[in-house]
Amino acid sequence: MRTLLATPLALALALGFSAPALAQEAGDWTVSVGAHVVAPKSGNGTLAGGALAADVGDDWRPTITAEYFFSPNLGLEVLAALPFEHDIKLNGVKAGSTKHLPPTFTLQYHFRNESIVTPFLGAGVNYTRFFDEKTTGPLAGTDLSLDASWGLAAHAGLDFAIGEGKWLRVDARHIDIDTDVKVNGAGVGTVNIDPLVYGAAFVWAF
C-alpha cells in the first residue's frame, strides 16, 4: 500500500515544485504583511572620546511593503513598519532607549523561473527617524537625542508560491544606519547601528 501511495505522491510533489509561478506584469502591485527583527551589529561604536562602548539591542515589529512593477522582473518596493524600540547600553549598563521608523525604498529584480520559488535581489536607500528617547542608569535625568540617518540598503529573499497571486516570503536586509548622539545638546559621538533586518511575510498581487 505504501508503494502504491508513494508513486502518485512523489509525482504530485514533483509537478507542484516544477509548476511555474505566476509573474507580475508592468503596472501590477504586490502588498506584503509580516513581521521582522531589526538586529543591530555587535558593537555599535564608542562615545565620549572612547570612554563609553555603545550597544543597541534587537527588536521586532509588524511590517508592511508595497511594490510597483515596471516589468515582470523589475519592481520598486517601499517598506514601512510600526515603530521599533531599542534599548541602549553603555559599557554594558542600560542607559536609555529609543524608537525609530525605518522607511526604505528598494529597486528589486525578481528572478522568474519554472519553479514555485522565486529569488530576488534589491538595492535602495533608507531613512531612519529616531524619537521618544528615554534615559536611565548613567544617563538618568539627561536629554538624549539621536539624529536622523540616511543610508544604503541591500535586500535579498525568496518568494514561495502558495496560490494564485499569493506567496510566502522570507527575506533579509542590511541597512547602513549611523546616528550622531547628543546628550543635553552636546555631541558625544556617532553610533553605528548597521542592522540586519530579517523576517517573513505573506504577499498578495493586485
Whether residue 32 contacts residue 62, with contact meaning beta carbons closer than 8 Å, is answered with: no
Residue 7 maps to a domain = no
Residue 4 maps to a domain = no
Residue 13 maps to a domain = no
1 or 146, higher pLDDT? 146
Q: How many domains does the chain have?
A: 1
pLDDT per residue as tens digits for the range 62-106: 999 999 999 999 999 999 999 999 999 999 999 999 999 999 999
Residue 100 maps to a domain = yes
H/E stretch holding 2: helix 2-18
Domain, as residue range, for 200: 21-205
Residue 176 maps to a domain = yes
What Å distances lie between residue 58 and 23, 156, 157, CA to CA?
35, 20, 21
Residue 53: is its pLDDT beyond 70?
yes
Residue 35 maps to a domain = yes
Band (10; pLDDT cuts 50, 70, 90): very low
Q: Which amino acid is at 191?
A: V
Residue 16 maps to a domain = no
Residue 188 maps to a domain = yes
Band (113; pLDDT cuts 50, 70, 90): confident
Here the CATH number for the domain that contains residue 188 is 2.40.160.20
Residues written for the chain: 206
Percent of the chain with pLDDT over 90: 83
